[in-house]
Amino acid sequence: MRRDYKQAHRFKKHKIRDHRRRTGKFKNPFFNVKTEITTKWSVWKTRFILGGVGIVAAVLLYFIFFSPYFYINKVNVEGLESIPGNDFQNLVDEHLNSRWLLIFPNNNTLSLRKGSLAKKIGERYVLDELVIDRDFPNVLNIKVKEKISNAILTIGPNYFFLDTHGLILRRINENEVYPGLSAGPFSGEVPEFKNVIAELNLPLIYDQSGDQVEIGQQFLTPEKYAKILNSREILSLYTPYELDFYKINNIDVNWFKIVTKDGWEMHVDLDKNIQTQIVKIFTFIKEQGINPSDYNYFNARYEDRIYYK
């Protein structure tokens, strides 16, 4: 049976179907009517959670680093002997009043940088031991053990303690020093040291070079330093003279001057036997029958003779 061509090729009108409403066994997973609503709720939920976390974190940060609860309000320092307590406390307070990264305070037991505080103390004092502990929530404990001082070094207006090996331990502050004590020729030449320092019975070494020195620096080699200090005992054992102080020029450390209480000097070579040179000067003075106070110095650095002026 022959079909009409137009009837056979007539285009059918298609209905627009809403696949989102399709029910039954087959569903298109890419068409979900709840997607837009769910997405909006997820964004707001995430923002709410992040906001809450941010608020909690901000509160915790404030409580930990900026609330008064962890502020250090007491500093205990043990073991100070020659170091003035006020000077040490001022140094610690200076560090506690500072901040690191321009934000976090050092006067907080949690954010305190102990290593930085130890470094600052070490730049001013050379110690045998330094222990820094935090006692939560508000106490800082500092325990120190000082090195033994056995001499005083002066360069210009500055004074320093030296240890048994010639290491510069610390600067003696202005409150420990004042002029006008020694019987020697200090007036107008070098500042004097206070009675408190004099009572320590430590020998004084005056460096005439005027060089700059630093805390922790080795002033002299241990061998030369020991020779200078041993001359004090030699002087008291083999002569009637008393030591006032030593003079040395750190630019030329091959010799030094022993300044007596009477104001005259002995010039001694560090590379030779110290006792031999001191006894040689004393013997020369005795044999010549002269008054050493009438002269400025006696020089025993040369083998064959004594030079004096």
The C-alpha atoms of residue 215 and residue 170 are separated, in whole angstroms, by 6
Q: Using a CB cutoff of 8 Å and minimum separation of 24, what contacts does 19-26 make?
A: none
Residue showing tokens 């360069």: 155
Q: Which of 17-21, 37-41, 304-308 has the largest mean confidence?
A: 304-308
The C-alpha atoms of residue 278 and residue 63 are separated, in whole angstroms, by 70
Residue 6, both tokens = 């137009």
Evaluate whether 205 touches 248 at the Cβ level (below 8 Å): yes
The confidence score (pLDDT) of residue 39 equals 63
Write down the pLDDT at residue 298: 96
Confidence of residue 186 (pLDDT cuts 50, 70, 90): very low
Task: Read off the pLDDT of each residue in 99-125 and give the average, rounded to a whole number.
Answer: 88
Predicted local confidence at residue 256, as pLDDT: 93
**Structural domains of the chain ordered from first start:** 70-146 (3.10.20.310), 149-308 (3.40.50)
- Region 209-232: mean pLDDT is 91
| Cα 93 to Cα 154: distance, rounded to the nearest angstrom | 28
Question: By C-alpha distance, which of 229, 264, 80 is closest to 152?
Answer: 229
Amino acid 187: pLDDT: 43
What pLDDT score was predicted for residue 177? 60
In angstroms, the CA 126 to CA 170 distance is 7
Of 56-60, 115-119, 266-270, the one with minimum mean pLDDT is: 56-60
* pLDDT confidence of residue 15: 52
Give the chain's mean pLDDT: 81
Judged against a pLDDT cut of 50, whether residue 188 lies above it is answered with no
Mean pLDDT of 102-124: 89
Q: What is the pLDDT of residues 151-171, one digit of tens each?
A: 989 887 788 999 999 999 998
Q: Residue 139, Cβ neighbours under 10 Å: how many?
A: 14
Nearest C-alpha neighbor of 132 from the set 190, 91, 165: 91
Between 18 and 136, the higher pLDDT residue: 136
3-state secondary structure string across 161-174: EEECCCEEEEEECH
State the pLDDT at residue 249: 83
pLDDT confidence of 274, banded at 50, 70, 90? very high
Where is pLDDT greater, at 137 or 142? 142
Are 297 and 259 in contact by the 8 Å Cβ rule? The answer is no
Q: Tokens 């300044």 sit at which residue?
A: 259
Query: What pLDDT, on the 0 to 100 scale, is given for residue 23?
Result: 53
> How many CB atoms within 10 Å of residue 184?
21
DSSP run (H or E) holding 151 = strand 149-155
Give tens-digit pLDDT for 284-296.
Answer: 999 999 999 999 9
Mean pLDDT on 94-107: 88
Q: How far apart are CA 25 and CA 22, in angstroms?
A: 9
The pTM score is 0.71
Per-residue pLDDT, 17? 54
User: Is 49's pLDDT higher than 80?
Assistant: no
- Does 145 have pLDDT greater than 90? yes
Query: pLDDT grade, residue 181 (50/70/90)?
Result: very low
Residue 166's region, left for phi above 0, alpha for psi from -120 to 50, else beta, is left
Q: Is the pLDDT of residue 275 over 80?
A: yes
